[in-house]
Amino acid sequence: MFRRPTGTEDRLPDQQAVWRFIVKAAETTAARFGYGRLDTPTFEETALFVRGVGEGTDLIEQETYTFEDRGGTRLTLRSEGTAPAMRAYLQSGLQSAPIPVRLYYVTPIFRYDRPQRGRLREHHQFGVEAIGESDAAMDVETIQLLSCFYHAAGLSSVNLQLNSIGDERCRPAFIEILRHYYSSRLDQVCANCQVRYVKNPLRLLDCKEDRCQPVIAAAPKPLEHLCAGCREHFERVQYLLRLLRITFTLNDRLVRGLGYYTRTVFEFYGAREGAQAALGGGGRYNRLVEELGGKPTPAVGFGCGLERVVLALQEEHVPRPEDPGIDISICHLGREAEDWALIVASTLRQQGFRVVTTPGERRIAVQLKQADHYRARFAGIIGSEEAASRTVSLRDMKTKEEKHGLTVESIIARLSTEARDSH
302 binds ligand HAM (CB under 6 A): yes
Pick one of 50, 86, 120, 143: the residue that binds ligand HAM (CB under 6 A).
120
* Integer Cα distance of 307 and 284 in angstroms: 24
113 binds ligand HAM (CB under 6 A): yes
145 binds ligand HAM (CB under 6 A): no
259 binds ligand HAM (CB under 6 A): no
Pick one of 87, 102, 123, 196: the residue that binds ligand HAM (CB under 6 A).
123
Q: How many CB atoms lie within 10 A of CB 209?
A: 13
Taken as a whole, the chain contains a residue count of 423
Pick one of 56, 220, 229, 257: the residue that binds ligand HAM (CB under 6 A).
257
380 binds ligand HAM (CB under 6 A): no
- In whole angstroms, how close is the CB of 284 to ligand HAM at the nearest point? 8
Q: Which residue is nearest to ligand HAM (CB)?
A: 305
Contacts with 3 (C-beta within 8 Å, 6 or more apart), sequence order = none
Comparing CB distances to ligand HAM, the nearer of 83 and 178 is: 83
- Please list, residue by residue across 78-103, b when 16 or more beta carbons sit within 10 angstroms of its beta carbon and e when fewer do: bbbbbbbbbbbbbeeebbeeeebbbb
* Three-class SS state of 355: strand
Q: What share of the chain is helix, strand, coil (3-state, %, to 5)?
A: 45, 20, 35
308 binds ligand HAM (CB under 6 A): yes
81 binds ligand HAM (CB under 6 A): yes
Comparing CB distances to ligand HAM, the nearer of 27 and 206 is: 206
Binding window for ligand HAM (CB under 6 A); candidates: 91-99, 149-157, 168-176, 296-304:
296-304
132 binds ligand HAM (CB under 6 A): no
Closest CA to 395 of 419, 423, 367: 367
Burial class (CB in 10 A: 0-12, 13-18, 19+), 266: buried
Binding window for ligand HAM (CB under 6 A); candidates: 123-131, 214-222, 358-366, 401-409:
123-131
Identify whether the C-beta of residue 284 lies closer than 8 Å to the C-beta of residue 136.
Answer: no
Identify whether the C-beta of residue 7 lies closer than 8 Å to the C-beta of residue 122.
Answer: yes
* Integer Cα distance of 249 and 359 in angstroms: 59
Pick one of 269, 301, 371, 395: the residue that binds ligand HAM (CB under 6 A).
301
129 binds ligand HAM (CB under 6 A): yes
Residues 207-246: x where in contact with ligand HAM by CB under 6 A, - otherwise, as a string: ----------------------------------------
Region 263-282 residues binding ligand HAM, contact defined as CB under 6 A: 278-282
- What is the signed CA dihedral for 99, 238, 30, 21, rounded to 10 degrees? 170
307 binds ligand HAM (CB under 6 A): yes
Comparing CB distances to ligand HAM, the nearer of 54 and 380 is: 54
* Integer Cα distance of 410 and 415 in angstroms: 9
- The residues of the shown chain that bind ligand HAM, judged by CB under 6 A, are 80-82, 111, 113, 118-120, 123, 125, 127, 129, 257-258, 278-283, 285, 301-305, 307-308
